[in-house]
Amino acid sequence: MTEAQTPSSVAAAGTQPGILLGAAVSKRTGKGKQADPDAAKKQEAQRNRKTTIKESAKRREQYTQLSLLWHEKLLRPVKENVLEQAARYLTPSEYDDVVEERSLSGLCGYPLCDRPPQKIEQR
């Protein structure tokens, strides 16, 4: 304010310092603006995606633990019903790992068999 201006003349002219400062603050912080109706939908969709990803990771971890348990069970000779149950949880590559591990342990690769692997003669 200059010496010629009084607080009432500044207010009358619409250039009151407090009002201008308030307008600048609301522009910077975004207060006073209309909320975007799509923004709430986008935030909700993002929360749903995060929840879905977390649930998926949790299920994947549970599946991994189950397949590891079945893998360990098949390293010993088992009955046919156990092998059928394990087939629900093991992928073909995981089953191949079981066969390989059994043969490295000195067992036949087939989980129902308890004999040592046969030697194949090369001709």
What per-residue confidence (pLDDT) applies to 36?
77
Encoded tokens for 95: 């089953």
Give the gyration radius of the chain's Cα atoms. 36
The span from the CA of 100 to the CA of 119, in Å, is 15
List, for residues 31-56, the tens digit of each pLDDT value: 555 567 788 899 999 999 999 999 99
Kindly report the pTM of this predicted structure: 0.55
List, for residues 93-104, the tens digit of each pLDDT value: 999 999 999 988
For the chain, the straight-line distance linking the first and the last C-alpha, in angstroms and rounded, comes to: 108
Where in the chain are the domains? 39-113
Encoded tokens for 45: 């969709």
Quote the Cα angle for 53-56-62, to 5°: 145
List, for residues 59-75, the tens digit of each pLDDT value: 999 999 999 999 999 99
The span from the CA of 16 to the CA of 25, in Å, is 15
What per-residue confidence (pLDDT) applies to 26?
47
